[in-house]
Each structure stands twice: as C-alpha cells, then as structure tokens.
C-alpha cells in the first residue's frame, strides 16, 4: 500500500499514466481513502491541462495567471 509521501513522489507519473498496473491499482486504492491525495492529484491534473492549453512561448510562464485558471476550474 502506498503512503502519502510516495503518492506525492509519483506525482506527474500518475498524471502521465507512466505507471504499471500494480502501481496504478495502489494509487487508485490510496485515492479512494485519502482525500488529501485526491485533492493533490486533482490539482496536478488541472495544472497539466492548463499548461497544455498555454501557447508555447519563449517568455517565462506567468504562474499567477496559471493559478487563476486553475482556481477558476476548481
Ligand atoms: Zn494520501
């Protein structure tokens, strides 16, 4: 069984679905009983969705604008 620290270490791997079946199951089980990680993963997903929607630019990404978008989605 995964603990919360392991969940946060897996982080973007969970979003990118780079996990094997066993790990995915463990993640799924953990998310069912841990609202904190549920929220954490949800935020990660939203963040990656917003990042994908951003046009590619050489300028530094405006993190404030991203945060606002995420909050609007939540
Ligand atoms: Zn947890």
Q: Distance, CA 16 to ligand 1 centroid (Å)?
A: 19
What are the tens digits of pLDDT across the range 17-65?
788 999 999 999 999 999 999 999 999 988 888 888 877 665 666 777 7
- Classify burial at 37, counting beta carbons within 10 Å of its beta carbon; exposed 0-12, middle 13-18, buried 19 or more: buried
pLDDT(10) > 70: yes
Q: Indicate yes or no: pTM above 0.75.
A: no
Domain boundaries, the chain: 4-73
Helix (H, G, I), strand (E, B) or coil at 74: coil
| CA 11 to ligand 1 center in whole angstroms | 12
Tell me how far CA of residue 58 lies from CA of 36, 55, 64, 69, 70, in angstroms: 35, 10, 17, 20, 22
The pLDDT of residue 60 is 63
Encoding tokens for residue 15? 């979003």
CA count, 13 A, side-chain hemisphere, 30 = 22
Which pair of structure tokens corresponds to residue 52? 């994908």
């Amino acid at each position: 069984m995964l603990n919360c620290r392991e969940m946060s270490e897996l982080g973007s791997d969970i979003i990118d679905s780079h996990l094997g079946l066993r790990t995915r199951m463990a993640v799924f089980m953990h998310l069912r009983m841990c609202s904190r990680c549920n929220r954490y993963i949800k935020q990660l997903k939203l963040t990656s969705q917003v990042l994908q929607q951003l046009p590619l630019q050489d300028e530094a990404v405006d993190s404030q604008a991203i945060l606002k978008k995420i909050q609007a989605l939540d």
